[in-house]
Amino acid sequence: MHGYLLETYGPPLSHAAKDLPDPQPGPGEILILNEAIGLNYPDALMVQGKYQKRPEPPFVPGRDCAGTVLAVGDGVKGFAPGDKVVAQVFSGAFADRVLAPENRVFARPAAVSPVDAAGAMTVFNTAYVAVAIRAGVKAGDRVVVTGAAGGVGAAAVQLAANLGAHVVGIVSSEEKAELVRRSGAQQALIITDRAEEPLKNAFKAQVRTAWGDDRGADVVIDTVGGTMFQAGLRALGFAGRLVVVGFASGEIPAAKANYLLYNNLTVMGAPLDIHFDEALDRLREGTAWWLSLLAEGKARANVTAVLPFDRLMQGLQDILDRKVTGKLVVETGARA
């Protein structure tokens, strides 16, 4: 197989693809002919050794892949050679052959391309955990999404809108606002100031009252952290829920317990990986749902560029340099 074997941690452009031995599936494993790879910010951290979990090199990094099942190991019941699939592995996706445990492999509808499936995998599953499993968004809810033009943010906007929620997306430019409107938000508010007090005031004046009254939001999905988290709390109404998805700002915030108490608020986390072990049935249900939305044209993967395999590490560098809007996907050149 051809893949990126990480022999030591370093900047993305310090890594190159090479020929590697073909893997064979062990018990409970599925071997996938990998046609497309979704690139994510955590991938860029992983190759540098800056991700929260650090596998010992050598290993092949990469999370999201889509293609066709080549072989299955002993004990695999749900998949067979020839099946079209999408998978999220902890490592191994940056290659044209991927070994994946069965609990991280999902059936891919014929109407969803490998490129769209790989591009959507992490961001849509993360958004599903945040919007549906943790926040319990339902029809009629008022939902605010920060960083709404980012990968997870745009997915959260689409899933909340498909559940019948009234969605407001927070962005930093008109270009991003247009993307968020296309994703199904009723409003896209452009807020550029990140200083804490002006940001809180903007949320009180614009976000909390976006629905024409002062009742506030039922849910805030926060992908940014820092001062945006603090402002998001001010947008919540009675019994509001703020879901922490990530810290794109680089700042990890803290909530004052007395503010939560006095305003009857809930703050919760939405980690994706633990759900593969603790809530796999819910995750399978959600993945099947959002894949059906893609298949029916009711949601979009927002893939903005498709790169050849030898440009994969440049794609990660572009993500680090904040040159990317939407999702980057790499095609391996492998074909079933």
Topology of the domain covering 2-121+276-331:
Quinone Oxidoreductase; Chain A, domain 1 (3.90.180)
Topology of the domain covering 136-269:
Rossmann fold (3.40.50)
CA distance 105 to 63: 12
pLDDT of residue 179: 87
Q: How confident is the model at residue 78 (pLDDT cuts 50, 70, 90)?
A: very high
In this predicted structure, the answer to whether residue 30 has a pLDDT above a threshold of 90 is yes
pLDDT tens figures, 290-327: 999 999 999 999 899 999 999 999 999 999 998 887 79
* Share of residues in the chain with pLDDT > 90 (%): 85
pLDDT tens figures, 122-159: 999 999 999 999 999 999 999 999 999 888 999 999 99
pLDDT tens figures, 238-265: 999 999 998 888 889 999 999 999 999 9
Sheet containing 166-171, strands listed edge to edge, beginning at the edge strand earlier in sequence: 187-190, 166-171, 142-145, 217-222, 236-244, 266-269
pLDDT of residue 254: 92
User: Considering the entire predicted model, what is its pTM?
Assistant: 0.93
Structure tokens at 269: 């986390």
Name the strand (E) or helix (H) holding 43.
helix 41-48
pLDDT of residue 323: 85
In one letter, which amino acid is 9?
Answer: Y
Q: Structural domain boundaries of the chain?
A: 2-121+276-331, 136-269
**Topology match between the domains 2-121+276-331 and 136-269:** no
